[in-house]
Amino acid sequence: MRTRVWLSTLLATAIGTSASAQTAVTEWTIDPNHTAVQFAVRHLLVSTVRGQFEKMSGTISYDGSDVRTIAVEVTIDAASVNTRVAMRDNDLRSANFFEVDKYPTIRFVSKRAERVDDGHVRLTGDLTIRGITREVALEVEGPVPPVKQGPVLRTGATASVKIKRQDFGLQYNRVIEGAAIVGDDISITIDIEAVRREP
CATH of the domain at 100: 2.40.128.110
pLDDT in tens, the chain (199 residues): 544 444 444 344 444 444 444 548 999 999 999 999 999 999 887 899 999 999 999 999 999 889 999 999 999 999 999 999 999 999 999 999 999 999 999 999 999 999 999 999 999 999 999 999 999 999 999 999 999 999 999 999 999 999 999 999 988 877 665 567 788 999 999 999 999 998 7
In a domain? residue 19: no
In a domain? residue 145: yes
Domain hosting 192: range is 25-197
Shortest CA distance to 127 belongs to which of 82, 159, 155? 159
- CA distance linking residue 199 with residue 191, whole number of Å: 26
Q: Is the dihedral of CA 177, 45, 86, 162 positive or negative?
A: positive
Shortest CA distance to 132 belongs to which of 156, 85, 97? 97
In a domain? residue 116: yes
In a domain? residue 15: no
When divided into structural domains, the chain yields a total of: 1
In a domain? residue 5: no
In a domain? residue 190: yes
- CA distance linking residue 123 with residue 139, whole number of Å: 6
Residues whose CB falls within 8 Å of the CB of residue 124, separated by 6 or more in sequence, listed in order = 110, 111, 112, 113, 114, 135, 136, 137, 138
Q: Residue 11 corresponds to which amino acid?
A: L
| H helix runs in the chain, sequence order | 2-24, 86-93
Paired residues of 183 in beta bridges = none
- C-alpha 50: how far from chain center: 18
Shortest CA distance to 189 belongs to which of 26, 94, 53? 53
In a domain? residue 42: yes
Q: Give the pLDDT confidence score for residue 173 in this predicted structure.
A: 77
Q: Give the pLDDT confidence score for residue 11 in this predicted structure.
A: 43
Q: Give the pLDDT confidence score for residue 182 in this predicted structure.
A: 86
In a domain? residue 102: yes
- CA distance linking residue 41 with residue 51, whole number of Å: 9
